[in-house]
Chain A
Amino acid sequence: MGLIKNLIKPEKQTITALDGVTFTVRKGEFVAYAGPNGAGKSTTMKLLAGMLLPNSGDISVLSLSPQKQRILLMQRLGILFGNRTELWWDHPVIQSFEWKKVVWGISDEMYKKNLATVVELLDIGNLLKTFARELSLGQRMRADLAMMLLHSPEIILLDEPTLGLDVVAKRQMIDFLKRINRENGVTIMVTSHDMDDLEEMAQRILMISAGKIAFDGNFHDLRSLTGNLTRVAVTMEKGFIPEIENGNLLSSDNGIYEYDVDLAQMPVRGLLSQLSAVKGVRDVEIKKAPIEQVIAGLYRDWDSGKNESTYGSRL
């Protein structure tokens, strides 16, 4: 019965992917775009690149409308999805590059110059003659990134470019992106689930939750949003247990006690004087809470829906 019903009257569900999202990115900015799964990150990227049409609202990229002037825009914009490749599967990498040269109408001069640059910076010289299907994930991402840069895009949109990359490949990619942002003034917008990567790359972070912009600012502000959490690790001599007021004990292992301390509630001075009073302290380490943890806290809050409006008004 279900099958027939589906045929006659398919069940359709309308989902509001983005709702009242407004933001401006200046030229040369490096913006991180983060949010939980299904929040609308990729949808935003696709809208900016003219791949989807919005039901309502205006989008302007490089003073062009992605929906009406897509062809012009695509000459100046580069977009890369980490989960798919634009390389020709059954051809060597260099063949895909040459295809791109023709399709994008890149001049010989620009092509040569850009090819030399990406080959050097991304270290793909020995991959050029390899078939795309034979590349490892990290190599493929580098080749994809190189291909995207061949037409000297002024804006780069990256959707999860570090997906599945190992530490070295990730490092390479982050350094490269920072470099082209700094030296060539390329505007970059990048989404990722790895907050540490984002913090290292971007100056500004836009956070989206359930189709709405939930945070827009720098990483420092993002931290203070959740109450400036600080991680304190105290190494004790045997037989001593530290006691810290307002501290939230996270773990104790082999004499090392880790606490979460909210510096908004207790200033550093207070914390230090407390620690100096404790007996048997061998070592103290104070560091910022990992951004991952901050984000996880935010996501949980958003999920339960209690703070959505509060954060908005605090900005």
Chain B
Amino acid sequence: MVVKLTFKCKRLISLFAISAKMDLVWLLRDTKFAFTAILADTISNLSVVSSVYLIALRFGGIGGMSVDEVLFMMAYSTVTTGIFILFGSGNNIHISRIIGRGQLEHLFVQPLSLKTQLITSGFSPFTGSGNFIIGCILLVIAILPACVCADDSARGKLYFQERTELLCQKRLQQICALRISPLMYAMLRRPSRNGSTTIPAWGL
């Protein structure tokens, strides 16, 4: 039983590894391409998050949510999208299309259960992890100061607001810096087996 489980785990890991390897090879095949992908993703992510965030800053929150809460919600949404893209790119994102075209049966050619295939085949830690990583970082940025502020709240609301505004400006700078980092290439047009390309599914 234990042997069987170990074997299964090993197999799963090797399947994840080959998906990851192919993902990396695909990204690094061409400098120009990799650069374009990173740049496009940076711009797109930047505009999505910063536009909402700037509105929240200007009006001191949106619909009863404070700036921190807005940031948290955006981070949360980015993380969930990130998890989906991290594990579900490639053939998975198209699964409905594959079924619709009557081509699902061709997945049965592989000596793997359909579940295993779906879990492992779309794993793309290199082209698909951008949203996930950024989401995590944003979460930390959104939650940490809130914790600190909670401690300071005894010292008065005014101080809290001043401090938050200062932090917000700093945070905006941080976000901009993050978004331009090379990890920001997130999925742009990841190829699936049949040659078609994935439509980017941006968070928010």
Q: Does B100 lie at the interface of the complex (its beta carbon under 8 Å from any beta carbon of A)?
A: no
Question: In A77-124, which residues have CB < 8 Å from any B CB?
Answer: 79, 81, 84, 86, 88-91, 95, 98-99, 102-105
B74 CB, nearest partner CB in chain A, Å: 32
List, in ascending order, chain A residues with CB within 8 A of B108's CB: 49-51, 70, 74
Q: How far is the CA of A49 from the CA of B185 in the complex (A)?
A: 40
The digit string for A120-154, where 1 denotes a CB below 8 A from any CB of B, is 00000000000001000000000000000000000
Q: How far is the CB of A87 from chain B (nearest CB, A)?
A: 9
Any chain A CB within 8 A of the CB of B157? no
In the bound assembly, the distance between CA atoms of A72 and B112 in angstroms comes to 9
Is B163 in the interface zone, CB < 8 Å from A? no
Please pick, from A51, A72, A88, A105, the residue contacting B22 in the complex, using a CB distance under 8 A. Answer: A88
Interface core residue of B18, B109, B112 (most chain A CB under 10 Å): B109
Residues of B within 8 A of A266 (CB): none
Instruction: List the B residue with the shortest CB-CB distance to A100.
Output: B110
Measured in the bound complex, the distance between the Cα atoms of B193 and A71 in whole Å is: 21
* Closest chain B residue, CB of each to CB of A51: B105
Cβ-neighbour of B106 out of A51, A70, A73, A99 (below 8 A): A51
Q: Which residues of B contact A133 (CB under 8 A)?
A: 195
A105 nearest in chain B by CB position:
B11
Chain B residues at the A interface, C-beta cutoff of 8 Å: 11, 14-15, 17-18, 22, 25-26, 105-106, 108-113, 191-195
Q: How far is the CB of B19 from chain A (nearest CB, A)?
A: 9
B25 CB contact (under 8 Å) in A70, A86, A91: A91
The reply to whether B109 and A98 form a contact with Cβ atoms under 8 Å apart is no
Q: Which of B15, B25, B195 is the one whose CB lies under 8 Å from A103?
A: B15
Q: How far is the CB of B95 from chain A (nearest CB, A)?
A: 17
Q: Quick check: B105 and A103 within 8 Å, CB to CB? A: no
How far, in angstroms, from A86 to B106 measured CA to CA in the complex? Answer: 9
Quick one: CB contact mask for A22-54 with B, threshold 8 Å, 1 for yes?
000000000000000000000000100111100
29 A–B contact pairs at CB < 8 A? A49-B109, A50-B108, A51-B105, A51-B106, A51-B108, A70-B108, A71-B111, A71-B112, A71-B113, A74-B108, A74-B110, A74-B111, A75-B111, A79-B109, A89-B192, A89-B193, A90-B195, A91-B22, A91-B26, A98-B18, A102-B14, A102-B17, A102-B18, A103-B15, A103-B18, A103-B111, A104-B110, A105-B11, A105-B111
Nearest-neighbor residue (CB-CB) of B107 within chain A: A51
Q: Which residues of A contact B (CB under 8 A)?
A: 46, 49-52, 70-75, 79, 81, 84, 86, 88-91, 95, 98-99, 102-105, 133
Please name the residue on chain A nearest to B120 by beta carbon. Answer: A103
Instruction: Find the A residue at minimum CB distance from B7.
Output: A105
Q: In the complex, which residue of chain A has the Cβ closest to the Cβ of B104? A: A51
Q: In the complex, A103 Cα to B17 Cα: how many Å?
A: 11
Q: Check B111–A88 contact: CB distance below 8 A.
A: no
Q: Which residue of A lies closest to B11 (CB)?
A: A105
Residues of A within 8 A of B111 (CB): 70-75, 103-105
* Smallest CB gap from A74: residue in B: B111
B18 surroundings in chain A (CB, below 8 A): 98-99, 102-103
- Which residues of chain B have C-beta atoms less than 8 A from A49's C-beta? 108-109
| Set of chain B residues within 8 Å of A50, measured between Cβ atoms | 108
Which of A52, A86, A89, A104 sits near B195, CB closer than 8 Å? A89
Q: In the assembly, what is the distance between CA of A178 and CA of B111, in Å?
A: 26
**A190–B11 Cα gap in the complex (Å)?**
33
CB distance from B135 to the nearest CB of A (A): 27
Chain A residues within 8 Å of B195, by CB: 89-90, 133
A72 to B18, CA, bound (A): 21
What is the minimal beta-carbon distance from B63 to any residue of chain A, in angstroms? 38
B residues in contact with A51, CB < 8 Å: 105-106, 108-109
Q: Is the CB of A95 within 8 A of B25?
A: yes
Q: What residues on B are CB-neighbors of A81 within 8 Å?
A: 106
Tell me the nearest residue of chain B to A131, going by C-beta: B29
Write the nearest CB–CB distance from A282 to chain B, whole angstroms. Answer: 57
Instruction: Tell me the complex Cα distance, A219–B195, Å.
Output: 40
Give me 20 other A-B pairs in contact (C-beta within 8 A), A95-B25, A103-B18, A103-B112 excluded.
A49-B108, A51-B105, A51-B109, A70-B111, A71-B111, A74-B108, A79-B109, A81-B106, A84-B106, A89-B191, A89-B192, A89-B194, A90-B195, A91-B22, A91-B25, A91-B26, A95-B22, A98-B18, A99-B22, A103-B110
Residue A52 contacts which of B22, B105, B109 (CB distance < 8 angstroms)?
A: B105
